[in-house]
Structure 1
Amino acid sequence: MQKLPPISLVGVPTDIGAGHRGASMGPEALRVAGIGEALAARGLDVVDRGNLNGPFNPWQPPVDGYRHLPAVVAWNRTVMQAVGTELAHGRVPILLGGDHCLAIGSITAVARHCREQGKRLTVLWLDAHADFNTSTVTPSGNIHGMPVACLCGFGPHELTELGGSAPTLTPDRIRQIGIRSVDAGEKKLVHDVGLDIYDMRYIDEVGMRRVMEEALLNLGADDHLHVSFDIDFLDPAIAPGVGTTIPGGPTYREAQLCMEMIADSGRLGSLDIMELNPALDVRNQTALLTVDLVESLFGKSTLMRD
């Protein structure tokens, strides 16, 4: 596995795109769980940049199919700039969310960096949800259910063109893993664009090892791997601290194997940690588990492989 460059932690304390309050406390919960110390203990150069600032969450109903669109745009523009700065300095940005709408800004910055560096971007989207809603099919208007659609060019131009042009990504550069909740209208869109989804039934049928082998196939020296990790990817029996719990997710060992195989690829270049909601957690156990899994993502493995 290649030596990883230095790491920057960037907190984004907002639940502006979510349907429940509390993800704004996610960055601090991850710090309390020791994310910086755990990565530093692995010999990595870790700097905590503190928290970004943005609009207060007004908690208003949707307007024209979107909740809080101007504030979501403002937060994502700030995220895009912060992530882009870290990448430009040769660092691995770890975005501490915050709700998953923030991946629009994060991945837009990563995609621009990859274009400038001649790298091919692959996004691993670890999530219970496909996040491919639009204003016409969303049941809620919550933009944390729309980031993949926006990145693929389906959504308000303020978000689809955040980086100056659309789409930021084509669907063939995204691998979704752990999916088990897709809205009816969203399902048609996902099929129409041909999104590469490894849902829980497929994981049950063939196992996490084969899923990750397929998802990571053909990665080489010119590839940049971005992992967008929504904590509700995990089964709520082990990770209750999220706003949208969906039973039947990966077990602890399945999640560990997923992370270890990503680490083995040697291509990890950026990471989002999203939707941790301490208000719904039990003694910060979800944050502690998340730190454990992120350690595996950065090279910790079991027994003699460490």
Structure 2
Amino acid sequence: MRRIAVLDAPSNLGLRPPTATSVPGCAKAPGALRDHGLLTRLAARDAGCLTPPRYDPGDWRPGDGVAHAAEIAAYSRALADRIGAIIDGGEFPVVLGGDCSILIGSGLAMHRLGEAVGGRIGLVFVDGHSDFRHPGNASYVGAAAGEDLALVTGRGQANLAAIESRRPYFRDIDVVVLGIRAQDEYRLDLQAAGIVTRPVPILRAEGAARSAQWARDQLVDCAGYWVHVDVDVLDPAVMPAVDAPDPGGIAFPELELLLTGLVESPHCLGVEITVFDPDYDPDGRYAAEITSAVVSGLAPVRSVTARPDLIAARRDLATPPKTGAAVAESRAAREVAEPVAPAAASAAPEMPVVVATTPKGPLVVATTPEVPVVVATTSEVSADIPEPDAADVTGVLDPEVAASAEPDSSGTGEVGAEPEPVLAIDDLAPEQESGDEESGDQESGDEESGDQESGDEESGDEEAGDEEARSDADGGQSARVAPAVPEVRLLTRPLGSAPMLDSDPLPATRPGMLRPRPPADPPAAGAFTTSTFGSGPAIPPGVA
């Protein structure tokens, strides 16, 4: 069971002034409806009132864009916050406008909600006018209440159509328009945009209840939908108290059936009522009619269960993720709760390390317990000694041992100074894949032969290095030779225990990028190839 929460949004910023010396009276609508017992009859919670900025069009002229744009944008953000808070509480928001520009705030709230649940939110637009005027189909714009559908579908100036860089708030295919007049000025633009409509003649021919079901069927791919109701959808014969009455509308019983059919689904997220102007209702009878229609139409809301997935998604979105400090604190708390036994701590031998700083960064490997710690920096390593290739390392380092080594970046050789970035050998190791046994044996054989050849090359490099060192010594120049690196013991790590990445790997480390290439076909007889092993493309004879 959902409880209704009524929120007043008495904004008239989206309308033109009715006269040169007056302001639109729709800001009085929430008070007029409350005076007729709307909250009591709905058994609703009073969610308060969001006071709008001052109405002052100033010296606005055609071509200046939407009037009150900055004020409407700020008000829409605040309204979206209030609507989101109501939904977070598991309640059903009923927003009392105000003019149709409050749809921008509702649309912003729905876009936030869609982002939280990972789905799209739809819009059922019940209005006597399409409100689809925008710079692409009109010479100028000015009143947001006549452009609200265009703005929430991403058409118009960015400070209203793309608040918080969200554009559009509703996609065209997620919008259903009900109740526009058959001769609406922008009906062809709606059709071209792919927005489905059901004008009043078709709505009446099919029936209000079936039209509501039809609208819900159009939004089956959405995670939910919002309902916008402009009371000028009613015929002026029964509702003249609006800013732009237009003949050919529906009656109050049809509006009640529409509302009932739309809100009886748990996917309906809320309703807004707009454009009623009490200035044209001096005796209050039209306010009483609207109140009765809203109470009757929203009766099914109390029998529908709130959707816990929306509440949970909003709660998860509002919960800030744990930072590195928070994770460290939780880890320290676990260590305090489960202290290590003294015997076990003393039994664990200290693991010395060897740290060699290379142009790519320090290289950290684990050694046997019998070998002391050796730290060598680039200032102590001769340029004649080849740089160790991390891709030749076939083991995996112990992360705890690597984290305990802190080489001195100043080159003094002292441990405990500020560490330099550690070269991650795991990221450089080629990825191995399982395949057929025959292909696996063949690849392993190729790798063994490659290891033998690389070993021959390394021995050749060592002999060349010895000869160069002797020649330098004969010439009277002393060469600084790095201390001998002791034999290392590489620690293995079980499969599947590699650390998780916070983002996608770089293109150079994506699976398959470092996989050994399969041997190419042998070259044709008499052909010359650029590769010793026949892996390169063959060059025909006679080509330079």
Deviation at 1:235, TM superposition (A): 1.4
Which of these residues, 9, 14, 21, is aligned with residue 12 of structure 1?
Answer: 9
Which of these residues, 43, 48, 51, is aligned with residue 50 of structure 1?
Answer: 48
State the Cα deviation string for residues 76-134 of structure 1 (Å, max 9, x = none): 12212211222222222211111001111112102211331245422111100111111
The equivalent of 2:216 in structure 1 is 216
State the Cα deviation string for residues 146-205 of structure 1 (Å, max 9, x = none): 111111110111111114321111111111110017764x34432321111111122243
State the Cα deviation string for residues 44-92 of structure 1 (Å, max 9, x = none): xx22122212310013434523222122222212212211222222222
The yes-or-no answer on 1:143 pairing with 2:144 is: yes
Give structure 1 regions of 4+ aligned residues with deviation exceeding 6 angstroms.
218-222
CA contact (8 A) 2:65 2:140 kept: no
The yes-or-no answer on 1:279 pairing with 2:279 is: yes
The yes-or-no answer on 1:80 pairing with 2:80 is: yes
Deviation at 1:291, TM superposition (A): 1.9
Deviation at 1:221, TM superposition (A): 11
C-alpha spacing 1:86/1:164, structure 2 compared with 1 (3 Å): farther
Deviation at 1:138, TM superposition (A): 6.2
CA contact (8 A) 1:109 1:163 kept: no
- Distance in 2, matches of 1:203 and 1:221, equals 23
State the Cα deviation string for residues 185-240 of structure 1 (Å, max 9, x = none): x3443232111111112224333233223112276797423111111111122222
Structure 2 letter corresponding to 1:89 = G
- Distance in 2, matches of 1:129 and 1:245, equals 10
C-alpha spacing 1:204/1:228, structure 2 compared with 1 (3 Å): same
The equivalent of 2:39 in structure 1 is 36
CA contact (8 A) 1:66 1:135 kept: no
C-alpha spacing 1:189/1:219, structure 2 compared with 1 (3 Å): closer
Deviation at 1:282, TM superposition (A): 4.5
- Distance in 2, matches of 1:207 and 1:183, equals 20
Instruction: Give secondary structure in 2 for the equivalent of 1:94.
Output: strand
- Distance in 2, matches of 1:84 and 1:201, equals 36
> For 1:128-277, what aligned pairs fall within 5 Å after superposition?
128-135=128-135, 137=138, 141-180=142-181, 184=185, 186-217=186-217, 223-277=223-277
Instruction: Give secondary structure in 2 for the equivalent of 1:216.
Output: helix
The equivalent of 1:90 in structure 2 is 90
Instruction: Give secondary structure in 2 for the equivalent of 1:217.
Output: helix
Larger Rg: 2
C-alpha spacing 1:280/1:226, structure 2 compared with 1 (3 Å): same
CA contact (8 A) 2:76 2:108 kept: no
CA contact (8 A) 1:239 1:285 kept: no
Gaps of 5+ in 2: 19-23, 302-544
CA contact (8 A) 1:112 1:163 kept: no
CA contact (8 A) 1:226 1:269 kept: yes
The equivalent of 1:59 in structure 2 is 57
The yes-or-no answer on 1:26 pairing with 2:26 is: no
CA contact (8 A) 2:26 2:98 kept: yes
- Distance in 2, matches of 1:120 and 1:192, equals 21
Which 10-residue stretch deviates more, 118-127 or 134-143? 134-143
**Greater per-residue strand proportion:** 1
Percentage of pairs with the same residue: 26
Instruction: Give secondary structure in 2 for the equivalent of 1:67.
Output: coil
Instruction: Give secondary structure in 2 for the equivalent of 1:176.
Output: strand
RMSD: 2.4
- Distance in 2, matches of 1:121 and 1:115, equals 9
- Distance in 2, matches of 1:15 and 1:164, equals 25
The equivalent of 1:304 in structure 2 is none
C-alpha spacing 1:288/1:139, structure 2 compared with 1 (3 Å): farther
TM-score in terms of structure 1 length:
0.87
- Distance in 1, matches of 2:275 and 2:139, equals 19
Aligned pair count reads 292
TM-score in terms of structure 2 length:
0.50
C-alpha spacing 1:223/1:297, structure 2 compared with 1 (3 Å): farther
State the Cα deviation string for residues 227-284 of structure 1 (Å, max 9, x = none): 1111111112222221111111111222222122223334322111111110012422
C-alpha spacing 1:27/1:270, structure 2 compared with 1 (3 Å): same
C-alpha spacing 1:198/1:175, structure 2 compared with 1 (3 Å): same
C-alpha spacing 1:181/1:74, structure 2 compared with 1 (3 Å): farther
C-alpha spacing 1:36/1:241, structure 2 compared with 1 (3 Å): same
Deviation at 1:300, TM superposition (A): 6.0
